[in-house]
Copies of this chain bind each other. A is one copy, B any other.
């Protein structure tokens, strides 16, 4: 075999390859893109797990399947998947479908390369540098470093690892055992990745000192100061503060100037987890929410969230110009980062990261940005704020909606108070009963497929809804629909 011919697979038949891909792309356009973003269609088609398993016939078998069967499978996968690009998908910190970003993603997949060397990713090595430069400029830095990471959690971990390496370069080789106990600080509203990261990096979750947040969810700088003193008194060495710009549930922005003052006084690395809120830097109207971010040592910013670049697109930005990433993460693998290459090997980014192969995450953002310009992206951000405000004002006009607080971002948190509970705020089981409303409504909306909104308990508060106004295709009509639909779904409760 194999004497002179490739296997009789599609790979050897350009016509069949093209036919397959055009057919699949047709299904994608019709089902995922057109229907998937149309308000006349469902946002999801709920099936119980056991039924869905049957419908999908997931088992991988010895024999391959025909082209026709494969196309049917593509249709089924799309049909039963949640349409996160749909205007009624309010469930997560991402929503919507940007066609240019999607175009960038399709090109990325067709080129299927790894971002580690200029040799095999010349376009993307240069492009990543330029996109990072642009993001840094929005933070307020004219120089610095950075890298795209597989999600905000890992961006946050990188920041913690860089901060400890900067203070104790020895730990790369010798580990944490020889160091004093370290302490890092973040508010109780921070993303859970800070805790996960502390465990993963060997620091342990005990090293995370939880700073108080005020009633709006913002870190209290005075308590940060107090916690630092306490940690020192216990013999720990504070090394990093992780502030949050745009908390997950409430959408709160920590007061960065005041926190930066504390960090400066104590010589601590300031990391800003702006995974969610970073995109607000594009808005002249709202960027004041992140005032002080230019004083950070590192910033995590996920354009896959509010900018809808597509999962994953998470930048870690650094003020550092001393090649800290490479010193902290490098291992100089000789088979990949040869020093006798015929081009400047400083272009090879692979030793800046703890991954080896690394996806290209810059093209989708770059292409969308080229198409929209700063101005187009700014309009999107501003519109999201306008629509969130519209939603809040409409809620105030209706009986059944109780805001958790006035939002300062595009997370709108509220209770839907069903008819049977209205006016019963004083009854002893009010909060318990109210807490049970959101799960019921969630089940109903998902099973009808009319919309998806997340809910959660939060501190002492029982379950409330969090609507995320992120989809750039949203209109006031969608906000009205959301309110009407909650009233309809909850009218018998």
Contacts and interface: CB of A to CB of B under 8 A. Distances in A.
A200 interface: yes
A403 to B, nearest CB: 18
A293 B358 CA distance: 27
A97 B216 CA distance: 51
A56 B126 contact: yes
Interface stretch (A31-39, A252-260, A264-272, A316-324): A31-39
Contact of A120 (B80, B91, B248, B342): B91
Contacts of A177: 176-177, 179, 181, 204
B49 A248 contact: no
A390 B1 CA distance: 11
A214 B357 CA distance: 27
Interface stretch (A70-78, A217-225, A485-493): A70-78
B130 A202 contact: no
Contact of A192 (B81, B110, B134, B356): B356
A11 interface: yes
Size bracket, chain A contacts = 35 or more
Given A6-B473, A49-B118, A342-B442, A32 B99 contact: no
A338 to B, nearest CB: 6
Interface string A14-31: 100110111011001100
Interface in A80-101: 80-85, 91-92, 94, 96-100
Contacts of A443: 342
Nearest to A120: B82
A173 interface: yes
Contacts of A358: 151
Interface in A334-361: 334-336, 338, 340-344, 347, 354-359
Contacts of A123: 52, 56, 77, 80-81
A410 interface: no
B357 A463 contact: no
Interface stretch (A226-234, A371-379, A419-427): A371-379
B82 A107 contact: no
B310 A354 contact: no
B126 A24 contact: no
A322 to B, nearest CB: 18
Interface in A256-298: none
Question: 8 smallest A-B Cβ distances: which pairs?
Answer: A202-B202, A175-B204, A150-B150, A64-B373, A335-B456, A32-B110, A342-B443, A58-B130
21 contacts: A14-B37, A24-B106, A63-B375, A65-B371, A70-B371, A73-B370, A74-B107, A74-B367, A81-B121, A83-B111, A91-B119, A97-B112, A102-B110, A172-B204, A173-B199, A173-B205, A175-B198, A175-B206, A192-B331, A311-B359, A334-B456
Given A6-B475, A21-B33, 7 more contacts: A62-B374, A80-B122, A114-B311, A171-B202, A177-B177, A191-B356, A192-B331
